[in-house]
């Protein structure tokens, strides 16, 4: 047995408890830090070989463990740019050096340039909608740009496409005379037709209303000798509402050249559309626009006429607010009530989050032990949901940390007593010489 050995063992015990106390201090200091993940100290023994009746005391080794994968409590705030993740994943943020890192701290606010920045100064990254609906880069951070919510002035977007769907009554009368159908733009059109109207937008954001007329033009013989490919057909004729006649009891005849778009919709015996595309182009010579309308969602069933349309485009309107949904899509909300997607915020994750490298600013970077970073959109591939107007608190248990501090203090004191006793024994040996 070595007196020096026991003293060294006591020193290793004091060092280990000092490390434990350091993690407790960090946890208590960051108990109110948004998205902070607690750290703890674990111990393992160091054993030295012993022989015969001699025992060589070894020591203790400490290592730090992170609780990154443990969810913190979510609390709601009054700021729509405060973001919390419910479930797995991290926000991708960028520091001043331009390096992307990961964080759970979603306390984002606008800086002087309109970028969303958290309390540590890291900018939130996302995919822009400038080139259409974004696609995620699953194995990297390419394509990510800072999320900027500065949307000033008026914005107008011309309509280029739209979706029009609904139901055409299968019991409607057939209009055999082409001269009385709306497509002929007659002065006295048939009464056996159904009219819907839809608003689109020109390049200046002005509203342009179009009138859609649906007229049944043919129906297969009943009962047919064999199920025909086309059971019945409908004519679709589209006019500018502004060109409607102002006198009389009908909008016909429309001026300025008549219909701006016509097509035929064919339906089978089950009421499903058989046209390969089911589309019609609105060629408006006044605005110079071509709007491609998708009519493939129409059915022909024994029910009342119904229709609903959603063209793209936007009237000239100022931005009133910016909202973020659970899928991470950042919308500009305009004064007229319309929404425009600006960015989509992805989330990233690794195989072992507790092994990530912690850096200043409550951010993490991947390493060989954590696994590679995989990026995806919220609510896909096991990633969590983004909650707007909420923050994730730290996962520190303050009562537990105070208990750890008391235990660490007592263990440190006990180890110091071992060291002191070894020192006293050394004094006895030295005094024997005297």
Domain boundaries, the chain: 3-70+395-433, 74-154+318-392, 159-312
**In the prediction, which pLDDT does 227 show?**
66
Q: SS3 for 290? A: strand
Burial (CB count within 10 angstroms: exposed 0-12, middle 13-18, buried 19+), residue 261: buried
Mean pLDDT check: name the lowest of 37-41, 83-87, 313-317, 397-401. 313-317
Q: Which comes out higher in pLDDT, residue 287 or 317?
A: 287
How far does Cα 116 stand from its chain's mean position? 15
The overall average pLDDT reported for the chain is: 90
- Name which of 280, 289, 130, 129 is nearest 201 in CA terms: 289
Please list, in sequence order, all residues whose beta carbon lies within 8 angstroms of the beta carbon of residue 90, skipping any fewer than 6 positions away.
Answer: 102, 103, 104, 347, 348, 349, 353, 364
- The two three-digit tokens of residue 174, written as one number: 């057939």
Residue 238: cis peptide before it, omega within 30 degrees of 0? no
**In the prediction, which pLDDT does 224 show?**
58
- The two three-digit tokens of residue 187, written as one number: 């002065």
- The two three-digit tokens of residue 427, written as one number: 């004094």
Q: Residue 180: phi, psi to the nearest 5?
A: -100, 0
- pLDDT > 90 in the chain, percent: 65
pTM: 0.68
**What is the phi-psi region of residue 129: left when phi exceeds 0, alpha when psi lies from -120 to 50, beta otherwise?**
alpha
What is the assigned CATH class of domain 159-312? mainly beta
> What does the pLDDT average to over 5-11?
85
Structure confidence at residue 385 as a pLDDT band (50, 70, 90): very high
Decide if pLDDT at 6 tops 90. no
**In the prediction, which pLDDT does 231 show?**
86
**What is the phi-psi region of residue 297: left when phi exceeds 0, alpha when psi lies from -120 to 50, beta otherwise?**
alpha
Decide if pLDDT at 1 tops 70. no
Q: Please tell me the distance from the alpha carbon of residue 193 to that of residue 172, in angstroms, as a whole number.
A: 8
> What does the pLDDT average to over 365-383?
93
pLDDT digits (tens, 9 = 90+) for 170-183: 999 999 999 999 99
Burial (CB count within 10 angstroms: exposed 0-12, middle 13-18, buried 19+), residue 94: buried
Structure confidence at residue 132 as a pLDDT band (50, 70, 90): confident
> What does the pLDDT average to over 1-12?
81
Structure confidence at residue 291 as a pLDDT band (50, 70, 90): very high
**In the prediction, which pLDDT does 225 show?**
62
Residue 158 near residue 201 (C-beta atoms within 8 A): yes
> What does the pLDDT average to over 215-223?
82
> What does the pLDDT average to over 271-276?
86
**In the prediction, which pLDDT does 295 show?**
95
**In the prediction, which pLDDT does 367 show?**
93
DSSP-assigned letters across all residues of 237-277: EEEEGGGS--SSSS-PSPSTTS-SEEEEEEE-TTSBB--SS
Residue 89 near residue 101 (C-beta atoms within 8 A): no
Q: Residue 322: phi, psi to the nearest 5?
A: -125, 125
Please list, in sequence order, all residues whose beta carbon lies within 8 angstroms of the beta carbon of residue 70, skipping any fewer than 6 positions away.
Answer: 37, 38, 395
Taking CA atoms, 178 is separated from 191, 217, 266, 275, in Å, by 13, 8, 17, 21
Residues forming a β-bridge with 156? none
Q: How many CB atoms lie within 10 A of CB 391?
A: 22
77 DSSP assignment: -
Q: Please tell me the distance from the alpha carbon of residue 33 to that of residue 150, in angstroms, as a whole number.
A: 27
148 DSSP assignment: B
């Amino acid at each position: 047995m070595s007196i020096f050995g026991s003293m060294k063992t006591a020193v290793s015990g004091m060092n280990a408890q000092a490390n434990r106390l350091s993690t407790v201090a960090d946890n208590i200091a960051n108990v109110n830090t948004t998205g902070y993940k607690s750290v703890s100290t674990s111990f393992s023994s160091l054993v030295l070989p012993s022989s015969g009746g001699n025992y060589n005391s070894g020591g203790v080794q400490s290592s730090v463990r992170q609780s990154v994968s443990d969810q913190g409590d979510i609390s709601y705030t009054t700021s729509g740019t405060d973001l919390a993740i419910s479930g797995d994943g991290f926000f991708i943020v960028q520091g001043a050096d331009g390096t992307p890192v990961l964080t759970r701290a979603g306390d984002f606010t606008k800086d002087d340039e309109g970028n969303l920045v958290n309390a540590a100064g890291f900018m939130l990254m996302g995919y822009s909608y400038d080139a259409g609906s974004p696609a995620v880069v699953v194995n990297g951070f390419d394509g990510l740009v800072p999320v900027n919510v500065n949307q000033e002035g008026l914005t107008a977007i011309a309509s280029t496409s739209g979706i029009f769907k609904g139901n055409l009554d299968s019991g409607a009368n057939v209009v055999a005379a082409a001269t009385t159908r709306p497509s002929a733009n007659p002065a006295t059109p048939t009464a056996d037709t159904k009219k819907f109207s839809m608003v689109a937008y020109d390049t200046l954001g002005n509203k342009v209303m179009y009138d859609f007329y649906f007229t049944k033009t043919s129906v297969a013989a009943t009962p047919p000798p064999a199920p025909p490919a086309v059971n019945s057909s409908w004519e679709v004729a589209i006019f500018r509402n502004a060109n409607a006649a102002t006198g009389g009891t009908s909008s016909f005849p429309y001026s300025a050249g008549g219909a701006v778009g016509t097509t035929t919709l064919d339906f089978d015996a089950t009421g499903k559309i058989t046209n390969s595309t089911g589309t019609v182009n609105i060629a408006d010579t006044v605005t110079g626009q071509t709007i491609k309308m998708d009519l493939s969602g129409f059915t022909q069933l024994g029910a009342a006429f119904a229709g609903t349309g959603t063209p793209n485009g936007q009237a000239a309107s100022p931005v009133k607010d910016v909202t973020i949904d659970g899928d991470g899509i950042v919308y500009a909300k305009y004064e007229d009530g319309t929404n425009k997607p600006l960015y989509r915020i992805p989330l990233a994750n690794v195989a072992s989050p507790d092994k990530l490298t912690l850096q200043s600013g409550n951010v993490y970077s991947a390493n060989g032990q954590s696994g590679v970073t995989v990026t995806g959109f919220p609510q896909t591939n096991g990633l969590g949901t983004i909650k707007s107007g909420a923050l994730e608190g730290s996962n520190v248990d303050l009562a537990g940390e105070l208990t750890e501090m008391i235990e660490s203090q007592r263990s440190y004191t006990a180890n110091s007593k071992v060291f002191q006793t070894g020192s006293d024994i050394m004094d006895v040996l030295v005094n024997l010489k005297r």
